[in-house]
Amino acid sequence: MMKPPALRATYRLQFHRGFTFADAEALVPYFARLGISHLYASPITVAVPGSTHGYDVADPTRINPELGGAEGFERLARALDAHGMGVLLDIVPNHMAASSHNPFWMEMLERGPRAPAARLFDVDWQSGRLLLPVLGEPLAATLAAGALSLRADYDTGRFLVAYADHVFPLRPESVADLLDAAAGLRPGWAEMASAFRASSAASSTSLHKAHDALRSLDTAKRAALDTVLAEADLPAILEAQHWRLAWWRTAAHDLNYRRFFNITDLAGVRIEDPEAFELVHRLPLDLIRRGLVHGLRIDHVDGLLDPAGYCERLRQAVGVGIPIFLEKILEPGEALRPWPVDGTTGYERLNDINGLFVNPQGYAALEADLRARHLIAGTPAERLAAAKRRVLETSLAAEVERLVGLAREGLDADIKAGDLTEASIRQAVIALLTHCPVYRSYATHDAHDPSDQAIWDTIRARMDAVEDPLTSAAGRLLIERLNAPQHPSDREFRGRFQQLSGPVLAKGFEDTELYRYPVLLAVNEVGSSFEHVGRECNELHEISRQRAGNGTSDLIPLATHDTKRGPATRARLAALSFAPERWLAFLAQARPATDRLCPGEASPDALDRHFILQTLLSAWPISAERMRTYLTKALREAKRHTSWEQPDTAYEQAAIDLATRLIGAPQAVDFRDDLERLLTELEPAARIVGLAQMVLQHTLPGTPDLYQGTEFPDLSLVDPDNRRPVDWQARLSALEGAGDLPPGDTEYFGLLRELLGLRRHPGPLIHGDYRPLDIPPSPWRWFGFERCHGDHRLCVVVPMRVPWHAPLPATATLDMAETLDSRWNLMGGSCIQTSSHGISLPTSWPLLIAEKS
């Protein structure tokens, strides 16, 4: 077994068939020299063919052959081990692909609720047949168009209904009926029909034997059978299956399986079932036992029925010493529950660091401008509530109806007495979900703790403040059932409510409000809050002191595969908060150009124009194609004029046309000159913010997590933009000190290597405490702290407020070094060291890092 490496720094790679284990293996020496301890791998199990992310798991028991298969992964793991590195593996316990490529899903479709695989999936079979909302039009129209067909798959031994690239297996009884109808054509088919019919109530082994019989048919028998299938009564056959096909639009209102958010292609897994847990974790636990994997990242833990129980079971399975990180978004002030894990994937850390460099006064000025122009209205809380209601009444309406049905079961007496109405119960369910202040509570089957009670109390208070009396009355009854469930339906209501509240907040905030509140897009990030845009020194000091005291090792990213913007993109915009008047002046300059480039009525409205301009500033230079892809997604997520469910392609094209003209049209040359002039003014402040954020990422308590390609300043937008191919050759050249890189890339990469070098050996950055530095006031408002472990100490100081009107002078760093030296008095000289006692930093870096053993 390979020796587990110490956790120092992770590097996230997105595996897909365009970037395989072999590609990563070739880069292992680079990662090792850079200073990475763990390669942080996206899901590696079999996914839907062509998957670019791996979260659409088709078989959790096997490694994806598109990525290189088990042999390729083992070669990668051994190459990492040879360099003293390990693997942090992303696993997906919440869902699997509802796909014909998923053998477990196909088994359930074929055999229904009695299939062994049926216990894997969170399906409400009591409501009837499994709804499959995959059709492009209603079923009758699809049949009339001849888009559905019946055929035999002689590779699997199944009869299938085919639609586009989907296939759905017939139940064994239907196969038997079709074989019976053809029994007169060929001898032996009656026996085959009997085998399929008997297998419907027997073991999987008997069904496999029936499949084998069908697979063994010769060419002549197959041709005869194909003739029978072509003449079969397809509508009648469809009615007899364990599943029913439906128009895709019905999914918003009529669905009887849990899904990942509103994605019907991803079916919820009952990971609370011991057999489901064993199946999903069989592969990662085997890789851990073999020493090929050394830590786990758990995707969407909030989707599970019992996250606390899951974490306990997983810790027992992996043992001590294997890091477990949860993808868990914590709201400001919320703490991770005391589960046996090593922390989160760090969205709260990203926002803490980002907030330190956002000027609240500048943000307020930008917000006031949008309100004065009537482009935004309502408080952040009111806006979020409205966004959540919209999601609940549209894309998640089916989940709401399921909760409403559970709620009714315990309120029959109140309804009969006239104290409640059917409508009030539904509105109360929506209100509970709308006013939930965090992603979810964590009550178990028979218990809850004060943190859960506090969440429910907040919901009650918010309902009483804004809802009508009847809705509030119904809501209070439902909260009583959350607090003290009396019946099985109460417990199921509590469990389903907790599983749904997270998707509601995610879809309402991350996938709606973040795209339609463009005050300062640096703030619009996963896990952020428009009511808490900045961080003060004392606030971050206290958070960091607690984290160090707890011995935290959770991840600290500046970018992930899910973030809305890259680190440099956010740094530019954060720097903008220090000169809001300059941005407002630019908007006034740009208005004639945007008006001129938007002829006629087909043009984006003023808020979307504002969004486009701020996006161009943040990501410039950007191609028209990148902007097209990004804007299409952003406009649909905002749901103001268009959406994924009801796209307004004319409006989208008008916005794309404007952005395209601004990027490249000859008549927009003045606009581009103004934009580049603003960027030139902004660059010094943006540079300082970007470098300072990277320093904090690597020196605050926790484990720095680098997203692929972010060794250079990264001006990416949300996926798929942040999943573009990485120029590895440029990074290899930078490591060798070769190549012709822009100065900013060279500087950023150089600092990154220095920072990772500080973490190569156990010391204050790995095991140290956290002590704030008392720094005198200055125009740049320095943020500083010590990390101490035994006699080994490290001092870090960065400027956190960078006013444009007073650029940081070259002497400021040395002046601060001398000031700190008189207080810190460790080095016997400047805090910037060139001796073996410290690291050497060019004085052009406005950062102070000093260490002493």
798 DSSP β-pair partners: 783
Nearest to 248 by CA among 128, 134, 410: 134
Query: Any alpha helices (H) in 35-137, and if so which ranges?
Result: 69-82, 103-111
- How far is residue 346's CA from residue 558's CA, in Å, rounded to a whole number? 9
pLDDT in tens, 280-325: 999 999 999 999 999 999 999 999 999 999 999 999 999 999 999 9
Model pLDDT, residue 846: 60
CA 452 remoteness from chain centre: 24
- How far is residue 830's CA from residue 836's CA, in Å, rounded to a whole number? 14
Nearest to 569 by CA among 625, 635, 524: 524
- How far is residue 308's CA from residue 301's CA, in Å, rounded to a whole number? 9
- How far is residue 74's CA from residue 338's CA, in Å, rounded to a whole number? 34
Model pLDDT, residue 185: 60
By three-state DSSP, how is residue 298 classified? strand
Q: Which two tokens stand for residue 764?
A: 């204050």
Model pLDDT, residue 235: 97
- How far is residue 326's CA from residue 341's CA, in Å, rounded to a whole number? 8
Please state, in angstroms and as integers, the Cα–Cα distance from residue 604 to each residue in 438, 599, 619, 670, following that order: 33, 10, 20, 21
Model pLDDT, residue 701: 97
Model pLDDT, residue 1: 44
Nearest to 615 by CA among 477, 471, 721, 735: 721
Please return the burial class of 44, using the count of CB atoms within 10 Å of its CB with bins 0-12, 13-18 and 19+.
buried
Please return the burial class of 702, using the count of CB atoms within 10 Å of its CB with bins 0-12, 13-18 and 19+.
buried
Segment holding 441, helix H or strand E: none
Model pLDDT, residue 581: 95
Model pLDDT, residue 809: 54
Model pLDDT, residue 832: 36
Contacts of 213 (CB under 8 A, 6+ apart): 157, 192, 195
Model pLDDT, residue 827: 34
Q: What angle do CA 402, 405, 406 make, to 5 degrees?
A: 90
Segment holding 664, helix H or strand E: helix 649-664
Please state, in angstroms and as integers, the Cα–Cα distance from residue 796 to each residue in 142, 685, 688, 700, 761, following that order: 65, 19, 15, 9, 18
**Overall size of the chain counted in residues:** 853
Intervals of the chain under pLDDT 50: 1, 810, 822-843
Model pLDDT, residue 826: 36
Model pLDDT, residue 839: 39
Please state the φ and ψ torsions of residue 352, each to the nearest 5 degrees: -65, -45
Please state the φ and ψ torsions of residue 138, each to the nearest 5 degrees: -55, 155
pTM for the complete prediction? 0.95
